[in-house]
Amino acid sequence: MCIQTPRSLAFGGLVCFALLAAGCADHAPPLEPTPTGALLAGQGQGPQNPEVVVIDVDQEVEIPGFCAGYGDFPDGFDLLVHREGQIRLMLMRHPITGALREIAVWQGVDVTATGNDRSVSSNSAGPIILQYDVQGDPTQLQVIGLNGVYTAPGLGVILLDAGRAVFDPVTGEVVFEAGPHQDYHGDYDRLCQYLTS
């Protein structure tokens, strides 16, 4: 599931809420509308009384040609990514400036990636914060905390995306990052090593 701004300016290949979407524009999952529009209809309340929507997530996305060039897979293979859990969306309006802030909190969203008869799983928990100006245009996107940690027997951690990353929501450029962000940078070597072994 990807965030969309009120003007349908999508972050499809940039920041999606799960494994293998961000930083992988050729394999970005299809966009789906979010309750952002419904939240914006109410225009949010102050920090003490935000508008809140809880959505159930149960989605599968197929990524063709994943791990191309690894092992015996010159053309890669289809990777099926399944996400399940709840996302709590909150919309708040700053009491003085009137700027909006949307916060998406993952409440135990399990992500499982399956390919070549092997699977890896993670639980995403970090909040994603999208800030808007008073006109409703996006000004900043932050991904904070644990976006995903995937482990495999005998290999330990094979993909880790955690810390803080700040993006320009218009250009998709990273303007600040701290911590390992293998998913955003497309560093899938250890993941593909496991899936192709």
The pLDDT score that the predictor gives to residue 24 is 27
- According to DSSP, the residues that pair with 153 across neighbouring strands are none
pLDDT band at 50 (very low <50, low <70, confident <90, very high): low
What kind and span of H or E run contains 152?
strand 138-152
Q: What is the mean pLDDT of residues 84-94?
A: 83
User: How does pLDDT run across 99-136, given as a tens digit for each residue?
Assistant: 888 888 877 788 888 999 999 988 877 788 888 888 87
Per-residue pLDDT for 47 more than 70?
no
Q: Are 37 and 18 in contact (CB under 8 A)?
A: no
Q: Write down the domain spans for the chain.
A: 25-195
User: How does pLDDT run across 158-183, given as a tens digit for each residue?
Assistant: 988 888 988 887 777 788 999 988 77
HSE value, Cβ hemisphere, 13 Å, CA-based, for 53: 18
What pTM does this model have?
0.69
Convert 94-131 to b/e letters by CB count within 10 Å (16 or more is b).
Answer: eeeeebbbbbbbbeebebbbbbbeeebebebbbebbbb
The pLDDT score that the predictor gives to residue 48 is 56
The pLDDT score that the predictor gives to residue 119 is 92
Six token digits for residue 140: 């900043």
